[in-house]
Amino acid sequence: MNIVLLTAIFALILAFVLGAALGIFKKIFAVPEDPLAGQIREILPGANCGACGYPGCDGYAAALAKGSAPANSCSVGGPAVAKKLVALVGGDANLVPVMAVLACRGSRQHAPLKGEYTGIPTCRGAKLSAGGTKLCAWGCLGYGDCVAVCKFGALSMGSDGLPVVNQDKCTGCTVCIAECPQQLLRAVPRDQAGSFAFCSNRNPVKANVLKTCKVGCIKCEACVRNCPQGAIAMENGIPKVDYGKCVSCGTCFSKCPTKAIRPIRIAPVQTAEAAAQA
């Protein structure tokens, strides 16, 4: 009994000594917090998504306080947060709000599988172990890696096996874009009007495109030839639109045999607060 009591007393004394030592070390080695960084942190939305290029809001606040980061890097906070940061530290408040758009329509119905995949059920796992699961080597793999990393609930998997972007919730943080191993998500400015190529299949052979995806771009260049504004050119096998020339007339969509290119309609930007409440 005495041994148990002595052990308990010794443990209490040891815990007290260690606690006191930790408190002393904390005071000795404490790094003073920059008051400006604290003010900046209060303005930031707290998403900690890393879209600004820094490890979370604390990292961005520290860099901005030191003058090593621009005040318009928080895409989640949008123009409203950029204006507050500029008022505090100066700089440029010009922030172009963007949202993610999937450059693929290769659903289960349109893009056949190579076979049954039994590996790790992630897009990255399927690409690394089997080179993808669909006959179209450029198509969406459909395991939702982008959905898993979205912190705002802006992405969900549709019944067709493709991710669906909720325009009202998307903050344009671009984390999903970085996560996609097929590089199929694009950051499109919300104020952009015009056509967009919903295909990433770069196979130059028309017959092979149709074998792998019924709605893929077959490189016929009908959109290029028929655009009255001369706003479309082929780049690496995919139509690229010059939005400085595009007037959203819809001619390219009407001429495209597979409807791989079509006008896009994007909802206006939403603040981080509104996105959180949606």
The CATH number of the domain where 62 resides is what? 1.10.15.40
Tokens at residue 117, please? Answer: 């995949």
| CA gap 59, 96 in Å, rounded | 22
- Is 260 a member of any domain? yes
124 closest CA partner among 214, 184, 56, 55: 184
- Is 2 a member of any domain? no
Q: Can you give the pLDDT of all 278 residues of the chain as single tens digits?
A: 577 777 878 888 888 888 888 888 777 766 666 888 889 999 999 888 888 888 889 999 999 998 888 888 898 888 889 999 999 888 887 888 889 999 999 999 999 999 889 999 999 999 999 999 999 999 999 999 999 999 999 999 999 999 999 999 998 999 999 999 999 999 998 887 789 999 999 998 888 999 999 999 999 999 999 999 999 999 999 999 998 899 889 999 999 999 999 988 765 555 444 444 44
- Residue 276: predicted pLDDT: 44
For residue 106, the enclosing domain spans 98-277
Rounded to two decimals, the pTM is 0.75
User: Position 39: which residue type?
Assistant: Q
User: What 3-state DSSP class applies to 238?
Assistant: strand
Q: Which residues pair with 100 in a beta bridge?
A: 187
User: How many other CB atoms are there within 10 angstroms of residue 235's CB atom?
Assistant: 11
| CA gap 58, 50 in Å, rounded | 10
The CATH number of the domain where 173 resides is what? 3.30.70.20
- Is 233 a member of any domain? yes
Domain count, the chain: 2
- Is 147 a member of any domain? yes
